[in-house]
Structure 1
Amino acid sequence: MFILVDDLGWSDLGFMGNPVYQTPNLDLLSKESVVFTNAYAPAANCAPSRACILTGLNTPKHGIYTVGSSERGKSKFRKLVPTKNTTILKESFTTLGEALQENGYTTATMGKWHLSENPITQGFNINIGGTTAGHPKSYFSPYKNKALKDGPKGEYLTDRITTEAINFITKNKKNPFFLYLPYYTVHTPLQGKEKLVKKYKAKVNGDDRFNAKYGAMVENMDANIGKILKSLKELKLDENTLVIFTSDNGGLASVSSQFPLRAGKGSYYEGGIRVPFLIKWPKEIKKTKTTEIPVSGLDIFPTVMEAVNNQKKDSLDGVSLLPFLTKNKEIKERALSWHFPIYLQAVNKDKDQARDSLFRTRPGSVIRKGKWKLHEYFEDKGIELYNLDSDIQEKNDVSKKYPEKVKELYKELKAWRTKRNAPVPKELNKNYKE
């Protein structure tokens, strides 16, 4: 079972240190799991991250870099012509669903798909609620979702998807199944249940780092995950069910502060790409722990494949975490890289914490290796270097202090791009005005 929450930030859960939003079920799950505190989404927003996770391939290989157009923000402020974005995941790519179908699993996706018109053609036997849409029109029925029948008026979407998920698990309890549960929550529109919103208004008490409607959505999401975990236990499936929980990207900074991380969704500072991540599989993972080893959503595909005794690699960009999880074998130090040859406009210039007030993201690439993280920006040939061990907030650019480290990481980043034929935009935008 793979739970992928939409736009849930690294610091938005109790077990990750959030002082306001209550997540008792996930807090308990974290104590029964291996928790990765340095886990990263493969991209800073929805569609590219999901394409990466579900194919095991980084963005240059499938060409999905953002949602919609790569020409986001006003043209006069864009110095370069960005790489054209791909919006649909081509069926030539093998998804995690297809790979598991080939291994005898009944597969279902329930919630947000966002990669094509219908996931049934890309590895899923059952689709409930998944279309090209990136967010729901309403969290309360009627949903106006062509892949989901409306429930009683006022029914809550996250509750409904959970009910469908439990029904699927119950029906398939005697067979191998893969449940991909990409909840629409906690993506906008911010719509929580009235009682919970009232509760969080009192808890937030005017503190603009938090949001009462968002808190209501987080707590409801947690309660529903609790229902599913309880169902697994009652069906005696919990010991041998591999459960993965994470988010597709960082939280939206204008909605919920990602402090102590800088920025949020859409940015390649830590707040935009660092996410909560845990794995539970009692039958095979005998020791629970919390680890600071950096991992990526790209690692999910190879991990699941090894878990079902399929060593098929297909030039995947992640690594299997299974030897570390089950045998405590060391994960060799490696670089994690991101490429975003596109623009993404600002949401809130005061809360975005971007390089400038106009864009959350300008074209560039990022590499993290060990404690070091290097940003490269193509417009101004800007380089930034951060020591994440001492500066998790990415406040202090130390590129001038450590020129040899810059040289080393930059060389590795360029080699990574070359190997993957990653496009670097160079054409000047004729509408640009300095």
Structure 2
Amino acid sequence: MKHFFSILVSLSALFTLTYCKKKEQPKVQQPNVLFVLMDDLGYGQFGIYNDTITTADFNPFFVSLVDSLQGYSLEKSLEYSQTAIPNLTKLAKEGVTFTNAYTSSNVCSPSRLGMVTGILQNRWGIYTNDDSEQSGIRKGTHLAEKIKASGYKTAHIGKWHIGQRNDQILHKILTKHQLAKDTNFYLLKPTHPELFNEIRESGYLGSVVESQNPLNHGFDYYYGYNHWASQYYNSYNIWENRTHLGKQAGYNTDVFTEKAIEKIDESIQENKPFYVQLHYHAVHDSVELKAPDKYLKKFNSDSFELNNFYAHLYAVDRNIEKIVDFLKAKEAYKNTIIVFTSDNGAMSGGSYDGHKSGSPLPGNTPFSGHKGNYYLGGFRVPFFIHWPNGIKQQKISNSLVSTMDILPTVLDAVGTKIPDSIDGKSLLSLLNNPREEKIHDYLLWSGVHATKWGYLIANSTKTHADEDQFAPPAWVVIKDNYLLRFTGKIEAGLYYDQMAGRAPVLELFDIKNDPSETRDISKDHPDKVKEMKAIYFKESKNFPRPIHWEESNWHELKKEKV
């Protein structure tokens, strides 16, 4: 009997020990997330895609303009696209690089809205920048709210541009000067330069209405601007939470990075996971202002414009390296997801009303077009995800994906349910699957097909200031290796190669074998045209009227007969 009790006690102790050990096992640690978004970075300018590209692949019209206007070395432009990003290249090669990724729009504000909500913004009547700026983000739709609710410290740093400006700031100044509240701010510059500067220095351009402030959309901290740009130096567009900061000191790529590190450090000290959106101004308008010498000295071609653009890109690369080094020092690197992409294609080449020019080659090579139009170069973008703890097998993926998939992927990774009603999908299963996996059967777009944001403006009788007001509407469907694009009526006298005007057209391209869209194969594949056209009209049936865009464009997009 004594022996029996001894065995019973031993078994009881063993059971208790085993139970306690199981109970004390730590939970799987939620990953940190750093979402890096660049402004107007082209597919071809991000050199990880250029292993097989030569200068012969450059768009010939773009090249002709370079030869006649700027004269930089085509070979140097290709070289710099690769040498400007050593750290980003390393991160991309250690993670999953997507070669078939698209934004939800060819311009920045609608694209960013689709990106952070996971919802195709056309479903809200948003087709253009003006639509987005006049509407802004809807309450409860930024997926960062769900990330914050999962226990994360959240911060948005840099470009916001998905909210309405605070017009009360403008109205107060106009009233003080006895001017009507509906006075056009931009028209004041030549007639009332002092008043123009007063408004600019008030922070109005970078302001956001309270209801659309990041602090009311899932973020604990905000340091940034609600405008399409905030120049590298001396900008008056920066706000911190709800306070205008006056003139910003320093080079903003460096400043934004320091703010990101500061917020990351706070999260680590509090032992909480972080979600940080680091949305740089670079490389928007990047040939205007000289990059700091510490970045510029790396590039020594005969062209300042070429050197300067890639210096600004190199600055981002070095700053991401700084964050990575910080994460490693804090032992947080391996469990941090780093997402990197661009909001649309490059604003490549072109003349901007005589005072600046767009970014250089390779631009969006091997694709035609640029920001603002629905050639592939306008909305196919660089994209990679890096996560040492979560990605065990590095790969290059050709799956059809969207930047609307980014935050659903983050939600999945942090263990939060993805809303059923959104267009974005989780890419998490794709990250560790050695085989390709279909995420989307197709993607679609609606909006303006404009030339103002790049080299194609040279083909227009209009200027950067107004071409988009006359540009035709377009819709696009991409499925498998095909792109179907409808382009609306072109009025006479708008484009030099179509001076008599042109009726609407429906074109089909094999984008795998013809990425520059040179051969319309719609007559050879009528069944494919019919199939993809049906997809668009089924999906777009309930797309509402545009908030600001000329309504006749919307009506033209709804016509099924071409």
Q: Normalized against structure 2, the TM-score is what?
A: 0.67
Deviations 1:33-54 (A, max 9, x none): 1000111111111100000011
Q: Secondary structure at the match of 2:80?
A: coil
Residues 369 and 456 in structure 2, CA contact (< 8 A), matched pair in contact too? no
Q: CA deviation at 1:195?
A: 2.5
**How many residues are treated as equivalent by the alignment?**
405
Aligned to 2:430: 324
Alignment of 1:28-43 (within 5 A): 28-43=90-105
Matched, 1:426 2:524: no
- In the alignment, what sits opposite 2:80? 20
Alignment of 1:333-348 (within 5 A): 334-340=441-447, 342=448, 344=450, 346-348=452-454
Q: Distance in 1 between matches of 2:282 and 2:311?
A: 11
Q: CA deviation at 1:278?
A: 0.4
Q: Quick one: which amino acid aligns to residue 289 of structure 2?
A: Q
- If each structure's helix is expressed as a fraction of its own residues, which one has the higher value? 2
Q: Secondary structure at the match of 2:324?
A: helix
Q: Which moved more, 1:93-102 or 1:193-202?
A: 193-202
**Which residue of 144, 147, 154 corresponds with 1:107?**
154
The aligned residue for residue 182 of structure 1 is 279
Alignment-derived partner of residue 475 in structure 2? 365
Closer, same or farther in 2 for the Cα pair 1:352/1:391, shift >3 Å?
A: farther
- Check conservation: 1:41, 1:297, Cα contact below 8 A: yes
The amino acid of 1:237's aligned partner reads: A
1:400 aligned to 2:498? no
| Aligned partner of residue 555 in structure 2, secondary structure | coil
**2:484 pairs with one of 374, 390, 399:** 374
Shift of 1:314: 3.5
| Residue 166 (str. 1) matches residue 264 (str. 2) | no
Q: Is the 8 A contact 1:266 1:361 kept in 2?
A: no
> In the TM superposition, what is the alpha-carbon distance from 1:221 to its structure 2 partner?
1.0
Quick one: which amino acid aligns to residue 377 of structure 1? T
Unaligned runs of 5+ in 1: 70-84, 429-434
Equivalent in the alignment of 1:2? 35
Aligned residue for 1:400, secondary structure, equals coil
Q: Secondary structure in 2 aligned to 1:161?
A: helix
Letter in 2 for 1:212: N
* Structure exhibiting the larger radius of gyration computed from Cα positions: 2
In the other structure, the counterpart of 2:320 is 225
Deviation by residue 1:142-166 (Cα, 9 ceiling, x = unmatched): 655243646885x211101101111
Q: Name the amino acid aligned to 1:35.
A: T
Residues 245 and 279 of structure 1 are in contact (CA less than 8 Å); yes or no, is this contact kept in structure 2?
yes
SS at match of 1:244: strand
The alpha-carbon distance between structure 1 residues 63 and 175, as it changes in their structure 2 partners (threshold 3 A), is same
SS at match of 2:257: helix
Residue 154 of structure 2: SS of its match in structure 1? strand
Tell me which amino acid in the other structure corresponds to 1:369: K
Matched, 1:244 2:339: yes
Distance 2:247 2:252 in 1: 9
Query: 2:142 matched to which residue of 1?
Result: 95
State the Cα distance separating 1:351 from its structure 2 match: 6.5
Cα–Cα, structure 1 residues 128 and 194, in superposed 2: closer, same or farther, change >3 Å? closer
Pairs within 5 Å for 1:22-421: 22-68=84-130, 87-116=134-163, 117=208, 118-130=213-225, 132-136=226-230, 138-141=231-234, 143-147=236-240, 149=245, 153=249, 155-173=250-268, 174-188=271-285, 190-195=288-293, 199=297, 202-203=300-301, 205-206=302-303, 211-254=306-349, 255-256=359-360, 257-328=363-434, 330-332=436-438, 334-340=441-447, 342=448, 344=450, 346-348=452-454, 350=456, 362-379=472-489, 380-418=503-541, 420=543
Work out whether residues 267 and 361 of structure 1, in 8 Å CA contact, stay in contact via their aligned partners in 2: no
Structure 1 contact 262–353 (Cα < 8 Å) conserved? no
Spell out, residue by residue over 1:175-223, the C-alpha distance to the aligned partner (whole angstroms, 9 max, x if none). 01100111111111532325368647733x359xx73322121111111
Following the alignment from structure 1 to structure 2, what is the Cα–Cα distance between the partners of residues 330 and 345?
35
Bigger RCO (CA 8 Å, 6+ sep): 1
Q: What's the CA shift string for 1:349-403, capped at 9, x where partnerless? A: 546789x995595212101111100101233331011101110111111112222
- Corresponding residue SS for 1:404: helix
Give 1:230 shift: 1.4
CA drift at 1:346: 2.3
Alpha-carbon separation, structure 2, partners of 1:351 and 1:10:
20
| Cα distance in 1, alignment partners of residues 290 and 446 from structure 2 | 34
Q: What are the superposed Cα offsets for residues 81-140 of structure 1, whole Å, 9 maximum, x if unpaired?
A: xxxx6633243242021111121111100000011212111111100123x21101x312
CA RMSD of aligned residues (A): 2.7
Deviation of the 1:288 alpha carbon: 0.7
Structure 2 distance, partners of 1:321, 1:146, is 33
Q: Which amino acid aligns with 1:216?
A: A
Distance 2:533 2:556 in 1: 22
In structure 2, what residue type is equivalent to 1:19? E
For residue 80 of structure 1, what is the aligned residue in structure 2? none
The normalised TM-score by structure 1 is: 0.86
